[in-house]
Amino acid sequence: MPALERKYRTQAFIQFALAVALLVVVNVLANAKIGNTRLYGALDLTQDKRFTLTPHTQRQLSGLEEPVYVRILLDGELPASYQRLRTAVEETLEDFSAYTDYVEYEFVDPLAGQPDDVRQRQEDMLKDGIIPITDYQQSAGERTTRAIYPYALFYYGDRQRIVPLISSARPDVPIEQQLNQAESLLEYNFTRAIDGLLSNDRPVIGFTLGNGELGPLQFADLVSELRKDYEVGPVYLDSFATLPADIDLLIVAKPTVPFSDFAAFKLDQYVMNGGKVIWAIDAVAMDYDSLRATGEAFPQTRTTGLEDLFFRYGFRLGNQLVLDLINTPIPIATNQGQSGPKFSLVPFPYHVLALPHGDNPIVQNLDGVDMRYPTLIELVGGGDSVEETVLLASSDRARRQRLPTPIDLDAQKFSVDLERFNESDLPLAVLLRGTFSSPYANRLSRDNERLLESSGLPYRGESRETSMIVISDGDVLANSVNSRGEVGFLGVNPFSKIPYANKDFMLNAVEYLLHPDGVIASRSKQVKLRLLDQNRAQQEAGYWRLLNLGVPLLLLALFGLAFNYFRRRRYARP
C-alpha cells in the first residue's frame, strides 16, 4: 500500500511539474521574438478589424531604436463615453507594444492636485494649445461641469508632439459620433505623431504667389500646421526659368490674376516631370462682402490662364455654381430695431457643406468641409492613363446654377424651391492619378523652347507617374483675418463659429500626395458606431429582462431535475 501511494504521489508531482513547465514555455513564447519576427500571433475577430495594425504601422514600430514616451491626459473621474475612449487608447498602445519594446505610456489626470497647482497647469497647457472640452452632466436635478483634456503628448528625445484625440468639438455633432471618430483615428494620429518625431527628411511645399493668390496671413494657420513636418515657402514663378525639382508639392491657392503663357508652361513642365499639385481654384469671382455691400451681385467667370492645362489633364472648372440645401449660414438683416438692423443666421445654399465621397484615406472618417461659392468640376477624361477619384461632393439635395445669374441676398430670407434641388454627388474636389499629357505638344513656341534650353531640360509631352488634387474653391484653405490682423483657425466658420474639417482635409491631401503608402493608409480603418435603439429598448424592456433573468434560472432548474433523475436511476437499488 505505501508503494502504491508513493507511485500516485510521484505521478501527481510529475503532472504538476509538467503543467508548470508548459505554462512557463507558453509565457516565454508569448513574449519572444527572433529578430523582428514574433513567435506568437493573435486573431482579430471583429468585423471592423479594430485590433489589426496596418503594415506601415508595424514596420514603423519594429524599426524604433529609441524609446517613445506617451502621456495621455485621460484619467481620473471620466464620463462613461470618455472612459470608452480611454480604454480604446490603452488598447491601441498595447497593440503598439506587441511590435516594439520602445513604446512607454502612462495616463495622468490633469485636474489632480491642489487648486492652485491645477490652475497653473491649465494655464500652461493653454499656452501649448491644449484646450479642454467642457462636459455637462445632469443628474438628480443637479448639473455639473467638468473639463476634459482628450490629448496625448508624445516625447522622443528632446522632441514633443501634442496630439488632440478629438479633432473638433462641434455642437451640431453628437458626442458619441465624435468619440467614435476619434477611436477610428487613434492609429493614424499616433503613427503620424511618431513619424513626425522620427523623421529628419522634411519634404518641401511651395505656395505660388504673384498671381493674386491668397496672402500669407490668409493661409497662415495651415502653414503653421504644415511646418511641423514640412519645409514651406513661397514660390514666385517669375523667379525661376523652370520650377526646381526639389519642390515636392506645389499649392496654387485662389489665383485672381491670369497666369501668363510662360507661367502656365512652367507649371505644365513641373507636372510633366512628376511634380504634384493641389489646385484650389475659384472659377467664379464672388464673395460675401461684395454681396453684402449691394444686396445683389452677378457672379462672373474668372479666367486663370490655366484652362488649357486643366482640360488636357482631364477636368474643367465651368461656369456652373453648385448650390446645396446642406450648407453653412450667413448673417442677414431680417428686421429693423431701434438701435439698427438685427441680423440672423440664415441658411445660404451658395456656402456648401461638402461631404466626403468614397473610401479614399483622404476623406475617410472626415467631417464636412466648408466651401464658398464652389463650382462644378466637370471630368472630361484624361485618357485611360488617368484615374479619377471624387473626394468631396454635394449632398443628394443639390443643384447647379449656370452663369450669368444674379444672387439676391434678400431672397435668402424666404423659402427656396425644394423641388429644384434634385441632383446629388456633384464633384467639388477630385484626385487625379496617372500620367498626364501636356497641352503644348505640337505647339511649343520658340520662347518656350528657349526657356527650356536655358535650363538644360528637355521638353516632356507626357508626365511621369504623378498625382494632383483639384478643389473648386480657393477659400477652402483660407483662415479668417480680423481688422487687427489676427489670424483665426482654418475651418472655423466666421459666422456660426462652428469648426469644420477644412484643415484636416488639407493636411490629409498633402500627406496622401507626398506619402500615399505611408501613415495615411491607417485612416482607412473605421470603427462602426453601434448604438442602442432607445425607443425599441424601452418598448421591449420587459421581454429582455425576462430573457436575461428567467431563461438562465429555467435552464439551471432543468439541469438540476435532469441530474437528480439520472442519478437516482443509476444508483437506485433494484
User: Which amino acid, 255?
Assistant: P
Q: Grade residue 276 by pLDDT with cuts at 50, 70 and 90.
A: very high
- Please say whether the beta carbons of 500 and 369 come within 8 A: yes
pLDDT band, very low/low/confident/very high, at 228 (cuts 50, 70, 90): confident
Strands 466-471, 427-434: pairing is: antiparallel
170 within a domain of the structure (yes/no)? yes
Q: Assess whether 263 and 173 both reside in one domain.
A: no
Percent of the chain at pLDDT exceeding 70:
86
Q: What is the CATH number of the domain that holds 188?
A: 3.40.30
Query: Ranked by mean pLDDT, which of 46-55, 192-201, 256-265, 379-388 comes out on top?
Result: 256-265
Residue 77: CB atoms within 10 A of its CB come to 9
Confidence of residue 132 (pLDDT cuts 50, 70, 90): confident
How far, CA to CA in Å, does 423 sit from each of 195, 329, 334, 446, 528?
42, 21, 30, 47, 28
- Residue-wise pLDDT tens digits, 101-122: 888 999 988 888 888 888 898 8
Shared domain for 214 and 180, answered yes or no, is no
| Residues forming a β-bridge with 471 | 280, 429
Give the residue from 500, 527, 553 where a domain finishes: 500
Smallest CA-to-CA distance from 379 within 303, 462, 318 is with 318
Same domain, yes or no, for 188 and 244?
no
One domain, residues 157 and 229: no
The reply to whether 308 and 289 lie within a common domain is yes
The DSSP secondary structure of 296-340, one letter per residue, reads EE--EEPP-S-HHHHHHHTEEEEEEEEEESSEEEEEEEEEEETTE
**Of 252, 284, 267, which Cα lies nearest the Cα of 372?**
284
**Total domains present in the chain:** 3
**CA 504, CA 61: separation in Å to the nearest integer?**
24
Average pLDDT value for residue range 158-173: 78
Residues 6+ apart with CB under 8 A from 550: none
- The whole-angstrom separation of Cα 466 and Cα 455 is 22
The answer to whether residue 169 sits within a structural domain is yes
Q: What is the pLDDT of residue 141?
A: 61
Q: Is the pLDDT of residue 174 over 90?
A: no
Query: Are 192 and 209 within one domain?
Result: no
Which of 45-54, 166-175, 403-412, 498-507 bottoms out in mean pLDDT, i.e. has the lowest?
A: 45-54
Host domain of residue 552: 542-568
Q: Does 115 sit behind a cis peptide bond, omega within 30 degrees of 0 on the bond before it? A: no
463 vs 448, more confident: 463
Which CATH number does the domain housing residue 393 bear? 3.40.50
Same domain flag for 212 and 114: no
- For residues 418 and 560, state if they share a domain: no
End-to-end CA distance of the chain: 34
Number of residues in the chain: 574
Query: Helix, strand, or coil here: 443?
Result: coil
H helical segments located in 336-459: 446-455
